[in-house]
Amino acid sequence: MQRRWNCPKNEPSRWVSQDWDRAWQSALRRIKGMPPPLVSDARIQEALTTMNDAFIQGNSNTFEVGLIALLDCCAELVNRGECQQWW
């Protein structure tokens, strides 16, 4: 028996200018003052590339994925004691 879920499709959200500004401000809080050794961290670079590409394409869902990855990566590095919190 096949089960069907009655869930709406995950439609891309339509961000307005203020939404993009708020999202970039969250990213910039992590980027500004980032310790130089972390700038070259592959996970951070991947998150930044994802956010940049998503911004160019206007894809807010993918931008959020990149932003969450950036925030998580920075928090993980601080929690492991690899650096001091800078944001």
What six digits make up the tokens of 78?
A: 């601080």
Contact 87, 74 (CB under 8 A): yes
Q: How far apart are the first and last CA of the chain?
A: 52
Q: Give the model confidence (pLDDT) of 44-70 as tens digits.
A: 999 999 999 999 999 999 999 999 999
CB atoms within 10 A of CB 19: 13
Contact 69, 43 (CB under 8 A): yes
Predicted structure pTM score = 0.78
Q: Give the model confidence (pLDDT) of 32-45 as tens digits.
A: 999 998 888 999 99
The residue extents of the domains of the chain are 17-79
CA distance readout (Å), 18 to 47, 61, 63, 70: 21, 16, 14, 20
